[in-house]
Chains A and B, each alone.
Chain A
Amino acid sequence: DGGITQSPKYLFRKEGQNVTLSCEQNLNHDAMYWYRQDPGQGLRLIYYSQIVNDFQKGDIAEGYSVSREKKESFPLTVTSAQKNPTAFYLCASSASYSNQPQHFGDGTRLSIL
């Protein structure tokens, strides 16, 4: 089945620790995205990548980092600089960057220990 796989489903972070969330897609999509969702709210864009080896900051990039070394993979690192990391993190991809539906994974829920 084609789709987007996020792992792990649940993740716990200790104080001062960096954690990395995985996102893999086998849809052959060029563009990939990371969103953060807080309870009762919509999605906010963290980072996006239009193509391999390129990525751009979204609206709330501070405290996060990404890489896009392979077309199918777009991992997100939540660094210790992100002081309020508890949230539901969603990865998405689309065939191209503009005017195409984004398809989402089932998310990673990150909590602080």
Chain B
Amino acid sequence: GENVGLHLPTLSVQEGDNSIINCAYSNSASDYFIWYKQESGKGPQFIIDIRSNMDKRQGQRVTVLLNKTVKHLSLQIAATQPGDSAVYFCAENWRWAGGTSYGKLTFGQGTILTVHP
């Protein structure tokens, strides 16, 4: 399944499928990006991060892709499991163009991922 943007905040997939969650970020000068997973009633949990000098980074069952040309970030989850059901947030680290990194994380709206057994 594929989420085509923040105007579709819900993604439903079958167990075992690959999931792709997309995020459009706002600041072309942002230099650091993070994906978080948030389960109901809990705080966000760090999944994976990527710096702007990279296009791709892989973790365990997850891959983050960064396309700076179109300011787009995606999270790919391989072999999605019911335990992956949660809200997923992308966050960008704002950097003032030409200046020092500001350090503020700006969070996206989030995408609800539901995995059906």
Contacts and interface: CB of A to CB of B under 8 A. Distances in A.
Contact of A98 (B41, B102, B107, B110): B102
A66 to B, nearest CB: 16
Contacts of A75: none
22 contacts: A4-B43, A6-B43, A40-B110, A41-B110, A42-B89, A42-B107, A42-B109, A43-B89, A43-B107, A45-B105, A48-B104, A50-B103, A58-B104, A90-B44, A98-B93, A98-B103, A99-B32, A101-B49, A102-B34, A105-B43, A106-B42, A107-B43
Interface of A: 4, 6, 31, 40-45, 48, 50, 58, 90, 92, 97-99, 101-107, 109
A90 to B, nearest CB: 5
A27 B36 CA distance: 19
Contacts, number: 55
A106 B43 contact: yes
A100 to B, nearest CB: 8
Interface string B6-35: 000000000000000000000000011010
